[in-house]
Structure formats: C-alpha cells, structure tokens
C-alpha cells in the first residue's frame, strides 16, 4: 500500500495538525474499542507534536485513563536523564494529563534493573524485557507478540533512521525479535533500545514525521524506492495506513510525481 503524504506550510502548523489528527484517532479508537494504543517517538518532531497536543483545546476530548502508551525507541540512559525520550515526553505532555500509570510503558532505563553488568551494557536485557511486556499485552486478536497499536509515530532522522534503526545497522536487519538493544549508534547516545521493523509493521497506522530542511533529503530517499537497510524509513509501514506528515521544507526535494509544485 503506497504511503499517503500530507504537507503543511511549516513545522508549527504540522505539529498542530498532527496533534489534532492524533486526538481524533484516539477518540475514534476509544469509541470503537474502549481504549486506544499509541506508540510515541522521540526527537524534535515527536516532542513538537506532544507540546502542540498539550496546548490543543480539544485535548480534553481524550479519555486519558483509557490510553496505552508505548515507545518506539529509547536512548539507554539513567532514569530522569534529560536526553531520555521518556523524560522529554513527560515534560512536553504526559505530566499534564491524567494517564493511568499502569498503561504507560516506557522502555527501561540504564540504571536499576538493567544496569551495566558482566554480560554487557544492559541494553539487550532491557530490550528482552520490553519485548516480554509487549508480548504480555498482545491478545489473540493481534497478529503476533506485539499489540496492534492504533497509531505508531516515528520521527525521521536526517540519515533516514527511524526509532533507533540506523542505516546498514544490525538492528534494521532484524527479522525475528520485536525489540533489540542498539550498540554503537552513529547518533548519541550510542546505546539505545528500539522496536524492530517487524514490530513497527504490526501497527494499524504508522505516521512518519518530518519537518525542517535537514529532513528533505531523507524524505526524498525513503519515498523514492530505497531499500529499508539503506533507508530504514522506507521499511516503516502500517497494516492499514502509512502516513507521512511533512512541512514544506522537508518536502522540498520530493520527486514531482509525489509532491507536485503548487501552480502559479
């Protein structure tokens, strides 16, 4: 199924429109199934969306107590570290809405249970634990050891990485496990935990967020038929829908058949 593209004027508008879209999705899923499940992304665009959601008047339409939150990846750092995706999501939105703590599923931190030990940096064990948490939440109606998320969001990195799946890395080649430890990532911090492409593809809808000029080349490559090992964003798609949400700067290098220039 071909991805759908929506291009907004600038990154602020993109964040606001994506937040409005997410509110509607969550409300619809809660009406249809009683609860909703969303996978959050880190990075500038993901946090921009959460901040926009936090100030959206319609945010009170969501029943926050019936929302399951998961993460697509995490920077494997101590609890509370300002660079952790979880810490940033809390600051942008989560601390200001009445979530049910039992339904919030951050990826493990690098201190505590999964602290560095004789068997390595702990990220592989943390990944295994998160995979088990996902498997426990999956039901018979799901298609495997991961729940069928309503929406899974991914920021697109300037090098086409999504979650912590970097081009040509072992993690992007993973076909069996749903969550992996990532070692030696080219973007700091080097140690991370990430959903794999098979886990990402279990979502009903996958939304890729790309705003800013530094995302233009990545969007053009991923949407022009590149392979997923070279361009991980190309391998991120949902069961029912794949949606690229861009701003005009990130869309500026797209092939004309995908994003024709506006008529004069």
Out of 66, 90, 177, 187, which residue is the one contacting ligand LXAUTJHC (CB under 6 A)? Answer: 187
* Residue 72: other Cβ atoms inside 10 A: 29
* Interface pick for ligand LXAUTJHC out of 16, 41, 178, 191 (rule CB under 6 A): 41
Of the two residues 16 and 164, which places its CB atom closer to ligand LXAUTJHC in the complex?
164
Binding residues for ligand LXAUTJHC, how many (CB under 6 A)? 15
User: Minimal CA–CA distance to 99: which of 26, 179, 166, 43?
Assistant: 26
Q: Of 106 and 155, which CB lies nearer to ligand LXAUTJHC in the complex structure?
A: 155
- What DSSP string runs through 183-224? -S-SSSSS-EEEE-HHHHTTSSEEEEEE-SGGGHHHHHHHTT
44 binds ligand LXAUTJHC, rule: CB under 6 A: yes
Helix (H, G, I), strand (E, B) or coil at 106: coil
What DSSP line would sit under 26-85, residue for residue?
HHHHHHHHS-EEEEE--HHHHHHHHHHHHT-GGGGGS-GGGEEEEESEEE---TT-TTSH
Minimal distance, residue 195 CB to ligand LXAUTJHC, in Å: 10
- Among the residue ranges 91-99, 114-122, 153-161, 231-239, the one whose residues contact ligand LXAUTJHC (CB under 6 A): 153-161
Judged by CB under 6 A, does residue 75 bind ligand LXAUTJHC? yes
Q: Does the CA dihedral 183-189-194-200 come out positive or negative?
A: negative
Residue 87 interacting with ligand LXAUTJHC (CB under 6 A): no
By the criterion CB under 6 A, which residues form the site for ligand LXAUTJHC?
Answer: 41-46, 73, 75, 85, 154-155, 157, 163-164, 187
């Amino acid at each position: 199924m071909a991805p759908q593209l929506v291009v907004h004027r600038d990154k602020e508008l993109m964040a606001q429109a994506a937040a409005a879209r997410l509110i509607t999705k969550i409300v619809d899923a809660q009406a249809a199934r009683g609860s909703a499940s969303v996978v959050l992304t880190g990075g500038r665009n993901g946090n921009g969306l959460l901040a926009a959601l936090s100030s959206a008047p319609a945010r009170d339409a969501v029943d926050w107590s019936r929302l399951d939150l998961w993460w697509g990846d995490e920077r494997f750092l101590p609890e509370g570290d300002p660079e952790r995706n979880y810490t940033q999501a809390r600051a942008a939105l989560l601390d200001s809405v009445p979530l049910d703590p039992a339904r919030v599923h951050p990826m493990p931190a690098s201190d505590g249970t999964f602290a560095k030990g004789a068997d390595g940096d702990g990220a592989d064990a943390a990944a295994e634990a998160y995979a088990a948490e996902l498997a426990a939440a999956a039901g018979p109606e799901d298609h495997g050891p991961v729940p069928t998320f309503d929406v899974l969001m991914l920021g697109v990195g300037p090098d086409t990485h999504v979650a912590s799946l970097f081009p040509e890395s072992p993690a992007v080649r993973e076909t069996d496990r749903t969550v992996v430890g990532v070692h030696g990532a080219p973007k700091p911090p080097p140690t991370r935990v990430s959903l794999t492409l098979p886990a990402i593809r279990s979502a009903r809808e996958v939304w890729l967020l790309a705003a800013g000029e530094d995302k233009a080349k990545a969007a053009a490559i991923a949407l022009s038929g590149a392979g997923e090992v070279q361009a991980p964003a190309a391998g991120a798609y949902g069961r029912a829908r794949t949606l690229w949400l861009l701003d005009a700067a990130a869309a500026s290098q797209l092939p004309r058949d995908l994003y024709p220039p506006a008529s004069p």
